[in-house]
């Protein structure tokens, strides 16, 4: 990693306490070499949030997706079990499914090898004469999958960190949001021309709220660095006051039943490495994931969750549209800044600036990142 080691001064400066630190050099956000290393160190090893259980409600429900450019197939089998597989036929590697829907089996469109909803090979034409071929030993390669309170996580690692251990901080800090009693109200997908880290840094950066968002929600927002809880694995939990996510700061529904004792200004944020930021409000939860496409681009999914009983509201769709449109207005404000920062990262005259004590969360995230990516390098 000569590219990063050559700028030891800037790395050492980020290692300082937050009141003395400066931000990281630009190549951390613009280098193809570092991007590839991040995939190997984080995204191909850790547990990744990908969506909600109710997106696969019935036996036979499936979705084929490319995640980090790897073909992934999620399906619910006839017994109701949810599974994840590499969407590659064990014969020649062709994808056995595309899109999403409901089916009784998956059939490779190339040679017709057929698999059940659990990934087992059901049939392979003209293979009985192949000596020693045993269809019972052939199945789609499994990807580890776990559920936390209705939320789906996968890991590409052969032996990932035990999930209960990996999710324990989120369970301790956000069990009160009861996402298992919520349902998916909306999924928004965005493409940002910036490094994936900038998306999460921006979501934990409350320093900018009173400036960039002064005309949206900034005036209805209150916090201090003492509200930030730093986790040993680089994760973050923040408690603060914020209005519901509507233009006038008034909920269009009501409090979530399990938050009745909280003030209307109840708000919390959590970051779980590598790709999940959670926002909790008095009437909804947002799960925001960022997927690197390259060093300079990422895809972002925003899953908006509300208590299941809210779906009975006769004006539900119209109300959710208000939340979605307001959310997009705020994220467009953020886009303008993080894409502007990204443009500077590859420039030879970019010099990282000093951190503010208001950037406590970012400082913690970046130092955890340096520990994991570069170990003891200074």
Which is nearest to 82 in space by CA: 90, 74, 94?
74
Say whether both 151 and 9 belong to one domain.
Answer: no
Say whether both 191 and 202 belong to one domain.
Answer: yes
Show which of 160, 182, 200 is a domain's final residue. 160
Say whether both 56 and 11 belong to one domain.
Answer: no
Quick one: three-class SS letters along 175-218? HHHCHHHEEEEEEEEEEECCCHHHHHHHHHCHHHHHHHCCCCCH
Q: Which two tokens stand for residue 357?
A: 């004590």
Q: What is the CATH number of the domain that holds 148?
A: 2.102.10.10
Say whether both 303 and 348 belong to one domain.
Answer: yes
Peptide bond into 274 cis (omega under 30): yes
Say whether both 144 and 211 belong to one domain.
Answer: no
Per-residue pLDDT of 236-281, as tens digits, reads 999 999 999 999 999 999 999 999 999 999 999 999 999 999 999 9
Q: What is the CATH number of the domain that holds 194?
A: 3.90.380.10
Write the CA distances from 29 to 126, 333, 355, integer angstroms: 51, 20, 17
DSSP-derived letter for residue 80 is: S
How far apart CA 186 and CA 166 sit, in angstroms, is: 27
Q: Judge contact between 278 and 179, C-beta under 8 A.
A: no
Show which of 127, 160, 193 is a domain's final residue. 160
DSSP-derived letter for residue 249 is: S
Say whether both 142 and 233 belong to one domain.
Answer: no
Per-residue pLDDT at 214: 65
Main-chain dihedrals φ then ψ at residue 77, nearest 5 degrees = -85, 180
Per-residue pLDDT of 95-145, as tens digits, reads 999 999 999 999 999 999 999 999 999 998 888 888 878 888 899 999 999
Which is nearest to 47 in space by CA: 149, 167, 172?
167
Per-residue pLDDT of 196-244, as tens digits, reads 999 999 998 877 776 677 677 756 768 788 889 999 878 999 999 999 9
Say whether both 232 and 274 belong to one domain.
Answer: yes
Say whether both 150 and 178 belong to one domain.
Answer: no
Say whether both 20 and 31 belong to one domain.
Answer: yes
User: Rounded to two decimals, what is the model's pTM?
Assistant: 0.93
The SS3 call for residue 350 is coil
Query: Which structural domain, as residue segments, surrounds residue 118?
Result: 48-160
Tell me which long-range contacts 161-170 makes (C-beta under 8 A, separation of at least 24). 161/46, 161/47, 163/47, 166/46, 166/47, 167/47, 167/272, 169/231, 169/233, 169/235, 169/237, 169/272, 170/235, 170/270, 170/272, 170/278
Say whether both 96 and 219 belong to one domain.
Answer: no
CB burial of 164-202 (b: ≥16 within 10 Å; e: otherwise) equals eebbebbeebbeebbbeebbbbbeeebebebbbbbbbbb
The SS3 call for residue 73 is strand
Show which of 160, 191, 210 is a domain's final residue. 160
CB burial of 282-308 (b: ≥16 within 10 Å; e: otherwise) equals bbbbbbbbbbbbebbbbbbbbbbbbbe
Say whether both 193 and 110 belong to one domain.
Answer: no
Domain count, the chain: 2
% of residues, the chain, pLDDT over 70: 95
Per-residue pLDDT of 302-321, as tens digits, reads 999 999 999 999 999 999 99
Say whether both 146 and 206 belong to one domain.
Answer: no
């Amino acid at each position: 990693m000569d590219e990063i080691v050559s700028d030891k001064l800037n790395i050492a400066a980020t290692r300082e306490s937050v009141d003395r630190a400066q931000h990281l050099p630009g190549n951390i956000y613009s280098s193809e070499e570092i991007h590839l290393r991040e995939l190997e160190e984080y995204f191909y090893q850790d547990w990744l949030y990908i969506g909600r259980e109710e997106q696969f409600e019935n036996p036979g429900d499936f979705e084929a997706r490319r995640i980090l450019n790897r073909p992934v197939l999620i399906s619910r089998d006839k017994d109701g079990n949810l599974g994840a597989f590499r969407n590659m036929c064990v014969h020649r590697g062709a994808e056995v499914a595309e899109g999403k829907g409901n089916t009784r089996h998956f059939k490779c469109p190339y040679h017709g090898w057929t698999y059940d909803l659990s990934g087992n090979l059901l049939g392979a034409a003209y293979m009985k004469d192949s000596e020693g071929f045993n269809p019972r030993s052939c199945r789609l390669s499994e990807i580890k999958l776990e559920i936390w309170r209705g939320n789906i996580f996968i890991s590409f690692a052969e032996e990932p960190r035990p999930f209960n251990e990996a999710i324990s901080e989120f369970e301790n800090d956000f069990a009160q949001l009861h996402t298992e009693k919520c349902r998916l109200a909306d999924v928004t997908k965005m493409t940002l021309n910036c490094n994936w880290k900038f998306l999460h840094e921006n979501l934990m950066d409350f320093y900018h709220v009173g400036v960039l968002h002064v005309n949206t929600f900034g005036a209805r927002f209150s916090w201090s660095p003492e509200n930030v809880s730093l986790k040993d694995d680089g994760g973050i939990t923040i408690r603060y006051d914020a209005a519901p996510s509507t233009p006038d700061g008034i909920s269009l529904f009501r409090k979530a039943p399990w938050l009745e004792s909280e003030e209307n200004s109840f708000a919390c944020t959590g970051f779980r490495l590598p790709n999940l930021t959670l926002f909790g409000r008095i009437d909804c939860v947002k799960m925001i994931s960022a997927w690197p496409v390259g060093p300079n681009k990422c895809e972002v999914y925003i899953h908006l969750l509300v208590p299941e009983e809210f779906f009975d509201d006769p004006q539900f769709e119209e109300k959710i549209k208000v939340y979605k449109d307001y959310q997009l207005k705020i994220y467009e404000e953020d886009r303008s800044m993080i894409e502007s920062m990204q443009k500077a990262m590859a420039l030879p005259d970019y010099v990282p600036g000093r951190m503010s004590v208001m950037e406590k969360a970012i400082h913690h995230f970046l130092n955890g990142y340096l520990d994991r990516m570069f170990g003891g390098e200074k």
